[in-house]
Amino acid sequence: MRVTFSGKGSLASGTRQLPSKLLWIGHQPGIKTRLTALENLHFYHRDGDTAQCLEALAQAGLAGFEDIPVNQLSAGQQRRVALARLWLTRATLWILDEPFTAIDVNGVDRLTQRMAQHTEQGGIVILTTHQPLNVAESKIRRISLTQTRAA
């Protein structure tokens, strides 16, 4: 299988490299559990300075948890560490698998606002979710995958 983005680059089946304009955050947080929240952001965004990383963590609702090893955080807090990357990335296309998993109502609101901001700036968000989205219908294209008969 070959996938292209913006007419450039390609992803061969099994390849782990993604174009720099694409950010993928999977259902699993994909973070380094022995590192702190701040160290994780530095790991994924080497060009982000500490102030930017701290601001991203605050935006994700993790102010005060910056220096705690991720393995000591709750599942929702670990998810927020992964999602804090959305406040740092320059990627145009975000692919998010179940981004609201283990996130409280406040976190869902923060994340929804960040996605709206990204799309208003010309970005694209593709996500999967089992939860209703509190977004104006004119702003989204909904694709519902349902199974009409047993496999």
Domain borders along the chain are: 2-139
29/97 Cα distance (integer angstroms): 10
Q: What are the pLDDT digits (tens) for 4-25?
A: 666 665 555 555 555 678 999 9
- Which pTM value belongs to this model? 0.81
Residue 2 contacts residue 11 (beta carbons within 8 Å): yes
Pick the CATH number of 2-139 from 3.90.1300.10, 3.40.50.300, 3.30.70.890, 1.10.3430.10: 3.40.50.300
The candidate with the shortest Cα–Cα distance to 140, out of 113, 109, 121, 119, is: 119
Residue 132 CA: distances (Å) to CA of 22, 98, 120, 144, 149: 24, 12, 20, 12, 24
pLDDT in tens, 48-103: 799 999 999 999 999 999 999 999 999 999 999 999 999 999 999 999 999 999 99
